[in-house]
Amino acid sequence: MNTLITCATSGMGNQIARALTEDNLILTGRDQDKLQSLCESAENRSISVSLDFFDTRSIREASTKIVDAGKLDRIVFIIPRIPPSSNIFPSDEEWIELYKNYFINPLSLLRQLFDENAVNDGAKIVLISGISSKSALTNYATNNCLRSAWLGQAKAMALTLGEKRISVNTLSLGGVMTESYTEKMKNKASDQNISFEQLMENEVSNVPLRKYASIDDVVGAVLALLGPLSNHMTGQNIMLDGGFFKGY
């Protein structure tokens, strides 16, 4: 199995890569030191590819290297974290920059891979998203729009690529206790002069399962969508949010 993981040096990308012990991995990221370290620690065959989604030249060069590595069977598509914003009316220039960096540029990598016939029939594609793809969030106004664009793209890809038995599904995450987010919550607890446990109890009070996802929860969901679960499932937006989204 040849598996591509973008933004592999992120907390989630790193752990997903480590869990895919039987795959040949193509790992992309901006931080070359972290990327090389991840490749060296992987028990399986791995190839590091420098990729900056904010740079079109970097995307073109990365696409060429990925194509040269062999046809892909699985793709875990992670984009850089979209900065939160409550501004519902960004300037035209701000919108152009946001869509270029977080939608158009990343999407161009997928386009180039399909243009080069670099994805096998029957492949599994998992797009990592956030719950603003399903439920609009006040403090994530721009995320609401960008996540919706990706959701529409995923659905369009699923409809078109279905004849090649390529499944395309989205995994939308709620709160995830990554190392950086855990540290942020600890600092917040300290600022409020309460214990970390008390803060987290307050934070997850509106989540039915009364917890945020662990990295292992995310990894398990991704592995499931890369496996037999998606043999007859495509175009779906799966929520991993502990029940936070209350809609049907």
**pLDDT, tens digit, 9 for 90 and up, residues 111-144:** 999 999 999 999 999 999 999 999 999 999 999 9
Give pTM, 2 decimals: 0.95
Q: Mean pLDDT for the chain?
A: 96
Share of the chain above pLDDT 70, in %: 99
Q: Which pLDDT belongs to residue 10?
A: 93
- pLDDT at position 175 is 94
3-state secondary structure string, the chain?
A: CEEEECCCCCHHHHHHHHHCCCCEEEEEECCHHHHHHHHHHCCCCEEEEECCCCCHHHHHHHHHHHHHCCCEEEEEECCCCCCCCCCCCCCHHHHHHHHHHHHHHHHHHHHHHHHCCCEEEEEEEEEEEEHHHCCCCCCCHHHHHHHHHHHHHHHHHHHHHHHHCCEEEEEEECCECCHHHHHHHHHHHHHCCCCHHHHHHHHCCCCCCCCCECHHHHHHHHHHHHCHHHCCCCCCEEEECCCCCCCC
- The structural domains of the chain, ordered by start, are 2-176+213-240 (3.40.50.720), 177-211 (no CATH)
- Stretches where the chain sits below pLDDT 50 are none
Q: Is the separation of the CB atoms in 177 and 159 below 8 Å?
A: no
Q: What is the pLDDT of residue 45?
A: 85
Cα–Cα distance, 117 to 11 (Å, whole number): 30
